[in-house]
Chain A
Amino acid sequence: MAELDYARIFDVLPSPFMILDANLVYVAANKAYVETTGRTLETLLGRQIFELFPNTGESGRRLKHSLETVVATGKPDTLAYLPYPIARADGDLEYRYWTAVHVPILNDAGEVEFVMQNTVDVSEFARIRAASTVPFATLSAEARLIERTREAEASNADFRRLFQQAPGFFAILSGPRHIFTFASDSYLRLVGGRLVLGRTVADALPEVVEQGFVDLLDRVYSEGYVHQAESARLMLARTPGREPEETYLDFSYHPIRDPSGEITGVFVQGTDRTEAVKAAQLQRLLIDELNHRVNNTMATVQSIASQTLRSTSDPVVARNAFQARIAALSKAHGMLSDRRWHTTEIGRLVRQELDAFDTNQVRYNGPMLMVNSKATIALAMLLHELASNAVRHGALSQPEGRLDVAWREDDADNLVLEWRERGGPAVTAPDKRGFGARLLDTIVSGELGGHLDLSYDPAGLIARLSIPPVGYIAQELTLG
């Protein structure tokens, strides 16, 4: 059987152990103990415990009393819930709660030569218990937990795990400067995985200071009230190295009190509501936008009806013209819908209107050019009026008539489109401007800010339109 190396076992024990001589001078300490104190083994050994960790308060007295009792009586003693501040390496004082078991080690003469201390850090457990709003049904087990270090340790681990993995976020802030002593996994995710433990809120989450959250914590800490907020908006750095993002939280701050009623910290709990709030906002926006679009389209349809009925007294003509105009509008909407209401290719718009005609009679060509949603609707209506005019009175009213449509982008990025009819009945300028001419002029000059040249050439109608980039090039994608 291999010989056991007790020194090594002592060193690797998971909970903190240390051994003092009868004068309370350190003679040994394991890794876990050294880590908890934030010192090195070298700074501990050979020093008296109260010289190294002076504590003239109640906790210090209790600790001293317990150790001296063990030395004097040779019997073990347990200290439950010992609040003990520890100065960390960065100088900040951190308040922690311990359960300490002191066991005498006797020499052959039966005298106390050493005292061994095993401490269990029950800080989280103590604080959680102190956070009165947390519904713990197990508080009746408190007495036993206090007495039995191992049980306390086990429960502490259970509570820690419970909170660590809870879907809502939890954090425990200690002292007036709000030092993080606990943060659940979801809390850490919320703050982009930043290292918060042992740091103050202002230091760990600098962006929240300006937004008043530290002031709020100060008030909860000093005045002892519970602060609750629903869907509170804040800007929080959610991803390392990125700008703070809009975040919505349901959260509350609860004062944590020690057994004497003194506030020792703030318990933070809440839920990240960002996705739900944003989804609701987007839905609202989409519904508003849908209403807006439906209403605007209704206004256009209403106007088409009114203009069509006004232009003829023949109900059959009116009905056909109305249906054709609505169909042109509807097809333009369909094309826009295919491209998320952003742009349309002008070739598609022209083809949509002229595809039904014989290719010997109608020709069209031009480069691929994208036009924005507003120009799509406007040009669809314009092309429809030109085509239906050609069918009723122009080149397309006779088999020998010809229509050529060509478009291009000129040097100044204007969209230039030429509609040229020939071979139809002789053209004369009308006495008064009809609906078609009014529509063309208003769309090109007014709506799209361009220029229209309508020429009543006897050989055939020629329409030349030039639209500046601002009138047809899509701006960045918006819902509008």
Chain B
Amino acid sequence: MAKFSGSRVFVVEDETLVLFNLEDILAELGCEVVSQAMRLEQALTLAQAANDVDVAILDVNIGGTTVFPVAEILAEKGIPLLFATGYGREGLPVEWQDQAVIVKPYSPSDVERALAPLLEAASQP
């Protein structure tokens, strides 16, 4: 049985090929992508409607803008966040510095390591 079997993931990633890779990695980890957006306005709509999501993986830079408005909505709902960025943690603004980060390009084990504490925390009563 896959490691995070049944975990429900919200994904924002604006590049098709990178998204494919992430979808494949998540599938191997047993995660289910329940919401997936590639553009900001679509991501905002989905974030507002999101419920029953265990974790969100958010590409920081989407189409020349940033994903933080989406992150705010999801954080309000108490959904754990994992930022994916080519800039590294230093690229995150101060208010998001404490969030989990994976740096592109990431491997399946990078994703697994980053997700583990977020999903464990979420499964606590």
Binding site for B on A (CB under 8 A): 288, 291-296, 298-304, 306-307, 310, 374, 377-378, 381, 438-439, 442-443, 446-447, 449, 475, 478, 480
Interface size on B, residues (CB 8 A): 27
Across the interface, do B16 and A447 meet the contact criterion of CB distance under 8 Å?
Answer: yes
Of A294, A296, A310, A381, which one neighbours B16 at CB under 8 angstroms?
A: A381
Looking across the interface, which residue of chain A has its beta carbon closest to that of B19?
A442
Work out how many contacts link A and B, with CB atoms closer than 8 A. Answer: 85
Looking across the interface, which residue of chain B has its beta carbon closest to that of A475?
B64
Alpha-carbon gap, A310 to B106, bound state (A) = 18
Alpha-carbon gap, A307 to B63, bound state (A) = 23
Across the interface, do B104 and A439 meet the contact criterion of CB distance under 8 Å?
Answer: no
Q: How far is the CB of A415 from chain B (nearest CB, A)?
A: 16
Across the interface, do A480 and B17 meet the contact criterion of CB distance under 8 Å?
Answer: no
With a cutoff of 8 Å between Cβ atoms, the chain B residues found around residue A478 in the complex are 64
**6 closest pairs, A vs B, by CB?**
A295-B86, A303-B21, A299-B105, A292-B86, A303-B17, A299-B104
With a cutoff of 8 Å between Cβ atoms, the chain B residues found around residue A306 in the complex are 20-21, 24
With a cutoff of 8 Å between Cβ atoms, the chain A residues found around residue B100 in the complex are none
Q: From DSSP, what is the main secondary structure of chain B's interface residues? A: mixed
The 8 A CB mask of B84-113 against A (1 = contact, 0 = none) is 011110110000000000011110000000
With a cutoff of 8 Å between Cβ atoms, the chain B residues found around residue A374 in the complex are 14, 63-64
Across the interface, do B87 and A303 meet the contact criterion of CB distance under 8 Å?
Answer: no
Binding site for A on B (CB under 8 A): 14-21, 24, 36, 38-39, 42, 61, 63-65, 85-88, 90-91, 103-106
Looking across the interface, which residue of chain A has its beta carbon closest to that of B42?
A449
Of A296, A303, A310, which one neighbours B86 at CB under 8 angstroms?
A: A296
Alpha-carbon gap, A294 to B64, bound state (A) = 16
With a cutoff of 8 Å between Cβ atoms, the chain B residues found around residue A296 in the complex are 15, 18, 86, 104
Q: List 6 A-B contacts (CB under 8 A).
A: A295-B103, A306-B20, A443-B16, A446-B39, A447-B39, A478-B64
* With A295-B104, A442-B20 already in contact, 7 other A-B pairs whose C-beta atoms are closer than 8 Å: A296-B18, A299-B18, A299-B105, A303-B18, A303-B20, A439-B17, A439-B20
With a cutoff of 8 Å between Cβ atoms, the chain A residues found around residue B19 in the complex are 442, 446
